[in-house]
Amino acid sequence: MSQKKALIVDDSTVTRLMIRKIISEKYPNWEILEAESADKAKSILPEHPDIDLFSLDQNMPGTLSGLDLVGILKSNYPNTKIMLITANIQDAIKNKAKDLAIVFIEKPVTAEKIIPELENL
């Protein structure tokens, strides 16, 4: 099995560390990248054309939200799994995630919520 690569995009350092820990404990050989905003994630994408998983927060500082970034990701990474991991549980956000065919996960972050989504990769 080839090494997988994940990009965790969240303005919370604690959340990024938690998601990194969950992934690393299950898949220690994965390369894990981090960005503290969707804008930062967008800027590093050209350097990483081979990402297998995106974990996005919805509300972050900068000009782009997590859902704003999804359109860019879908066009450049059409077969990559995208998880929206957010505390923003409004129906509008859930419905938009569903319409975009991405996984919606409600915070707080737990292995029980994330691991099943990783097993399909």
Helix (H, G, I), strand (E, B), or coil: what is residue 7? Answer: strand
The pLDDT tens digits of the residues spanning 10-25 come to 999 999 999 999 999 9
What is the mean predicted confidence (pLDDT) over 48-70? Answer: 95
The CATH number of the structural domain formed by 5-118 is 3.40.50.2300
Q: Which residue has the tokens 């915070």?
A: 107
The pLDDT tens digits of the residues spanning 86-108 come to 999 999 999 999 999 999 999 99
Tokens of 25: 């404990």
Q: What is the DSSP string of 55-90?
A: EE-SS-SSS--HHHHHHHHHHH-TT-EEEEEES---
The residue ranges of every structural domain in the chain are 5-118
